[in-house]
Amino acid sequence: MPEATTPDGRTLSYIEAGDADGPVLIGQHGTPGAGRLYRSEVEGAERVGARLIAYSRPGYDGSTPSPGRSVADAAADVAALADALGAERFATYGWSGGGPHALACAALLPDRCAAAATIAGVGPSDQPDLEFIDGMGEGNIAEFGAAFEGRDTLAPMLAEEAAGLMAVTPDQIAESMAPFLSDVDAAALTGELAEHLMGMFREGLADGIDGWVDDDLAFVQPWGFDLAAIAVPTLIWQGVQDAMVPGAHGRWLRDHVAGAEGGILDAEGHLTLFVNRIGEIQEGLLERLR
């Protein structure tokens, strides 16, 4: 897998697909995860003629860990990745845990990030008008509860969860993730999607849980940028049938990012939103990049 080097000497693993000469879309994976592309992502990029890049955040899949990183730190990493790719301008989208990191690029790289999208992404945990864990499945309530307690509480929990994830087969993953899934997502998590998600977990956690721990800790700390200051076009998509990141997060983000577009969709869950809508989202970003 190719690597980009950051100014402080870390490496970021990435993969690419689509048109090598096309406008650049940078995908940011969920938590836990890795820079791995689903078929509908690749097909969407090919359809719109984009050069699609997916990278692994620090601590995942060979990317150098960066303990104590904030959500805002993703902007500098994406800038370094874009430099390595020769991309002066780009658009970015983040699914799930990647959503806040895409918003960081929109806020902190306005001269380079032409547009951003968050897909089933969380809102900030430190806002009094967003009840962060309300409506989440019991698995996420426990995980974020441990994150609020700190690294010493969170790391042992995630080590146990990682061991369980690495031990299951794709046929067992829906049952294993039941505490995190709505009925809509549980029904969808079979076949190709189950294989993809299992592969993403295994690649992302092959070197340990550092990336997962640092993601969760970053989510429950101040993100390091002002959402209200985002001035580039931003798409916010959320599914109402989402037990990982409830629809209230999407509605809050829509209310606090000026001019945000996208949709809060009654029939979609956490997984189905991405699988069913990624091509449409890529197309929307590309319209704003060209």
- Amino acid of residue 225: F
Give the number of other CB atoms < 10 A from CB of residue 89. Answer: 15
Contacts of 69 by beta carbon, 8 Å cutoff, 6+ apart: 58, 214, 218
Mean pLDDT of the chain, nearest integer = 95
**pLDDT tens figures, 151-198:** 999 999 999 999 988 888 888 888 888 888 899 999 999 999 999 999
**pLDDT tens figures, 185-230:** 999 999 999 999 999 999 999 999 999 999 999 999 999 999 999 9
212 close to 46: Cβ distance less than 8 angstroms: no
Compute the 3-state secondary structure of the chain and give helix, strand, coil in percent, each to the nearest 5.
Answer: 45, 20, 35
Q: What tokens does 289 get?
A: 């990049």
> Is 3-289 CATH 3.40.190.80?
no
Domain ranges of the chain: 3-289
Give the number of other CB atoms < 10 A from CB of residue 129. Answer: 8
Query: For a pLDDT cut of 70, what percent of the chain falls above it?
Result: 100
**6-21: burial string, b at 16+ Cβ within 10 Å, e else:** beeebbbbbbbbbeee
